[in-house]
Amino acid sequence: MTVLADLREGDERLTRWVASWPSNCVRRVLPAVEETAEHTKLWWGAAAVMSTVGWRGRRAAAAGVASMAVAELVSNGVLKQVWSRRRPPKEWISHEEVHDRPDSSSFPSGHTAAGVAFSAAVAGVWPWAGAVCAVPAVLVAVERVHTGAHYPSDVVGGAVVGLAAVALVHRAPRLAARLLR
């Protein structure tokens, strides 16, 4: 199983590298962004702001929230229950800011799934707003690896779940119409 061995080795190397970033700015900004994203507060706040900016904002917010909900359900409600994976070892994290990590499965990153789903769905309706939302979504994904909460492959898995949620929500009305014919 050389592919799995290569994946594990890549996860370790990338985790150690990201966790070793010495910048004080990185160590201040990433945890602050993650804290605002905890329990999807950041995305709900963005949706509230967007919904005040007319019909396009309301449509973007609705698409973002719907996709985020599906991503959360799939990542945290299904995949984490089915796929058991331990968090990265604390020894890989070269700084003392290893936060208390959840006992849940490491795969996939639910934070990343929610952020990618929200941002990508918003971008489909309002590209400029989606690009703005993508910045904290990327920062959250990096933070999850920097603090040792996730392996890079968990973050990639979360991103895939987020994009799949967007595709599903986007196609749901057409699928429902076909089923009801």
pTM of the predicted protein model: 0.87
Contacts of 106 (CB under 8 A, 6+ apart): 85, 86, 87, 88, 149, 150, 151, 154
Specify the pLDDT at position 175: 67
Distance of CA 35 to CAs 23, 32, 62, 136, 160, Å? 19, 5, 23, 11, 22
Tens-digit pLDDT profile for residues 52-74: 989 999 999 999 999 999 999 99
What digits encode the pLDDT tens for the residues 131-149? Answer: 999 999 999 999 888 888 8
**What's the pLDDT at 96?**
64
Q: How far is CA 49 from CA 96, 128, 145, in A?
A: 36, 14, 29
Domain count of the chain?
1
Q: Is residue 20 domain-resident?
A: no
- Let me know if residue 8 belongs to a domain: yes
The answer to whether residue 152 is domain-embedded is: yes
Q: Is residue 78 part of a domain?
A: yes
- 21 belongs to a structural domain: no
- For 40, residues 6+ apart whose C-beta sits below 8 A from its C-beta are 68, 72, 114, 118
The pLDDT score that the predictor gives to residue 115 is: 96
pLDDT, mean of residues 149-166 = 94
Which residues make Cβ contacts (< 8 Å) with residue 101, sequence separation at least 6? 87, 147, 148, 149
Examine residue 93 and state whether it is found in any structural domain, yes or no: yes
Range of the domain at 39: 2-15+26-180
User: In this predicted model, what pLDDT tens digit does every residue of 91-107 receive, in sequence order?
Assistant: 777 666 665 667 788 89
**Phi, psi values for residue 148, rounded to 5°:** 80, 15
Task: Report whether 141 contacts 158 (CB < 8 A).
Answer: yes
* In-domain check, residue 141: yes
- Residue 164 predicted with pLDDT over 80: yes
Q: What is the pLDDT of residue 101?
A: 67
Half-sphere exposure of 100 (CA within 13 A, CB side): 0
* Confidence class for position 125, pLDDT limits 50, 70, 90: very high
Left (φ > 0), alpha (ψ -120 to 50) or beta: where does 126 sit? beta
Torsion of CA 24, 25, 28, 34, to 10 degrees: -130
Q: Is residue 58 part of a domain?
A: yes
Among 9-23, 76-90, 92-106, 140-154, which stretch is predicted with the lowest mean pLDDT? 92-106
Per-residue pLDDT at 129 exceeds 90: yes
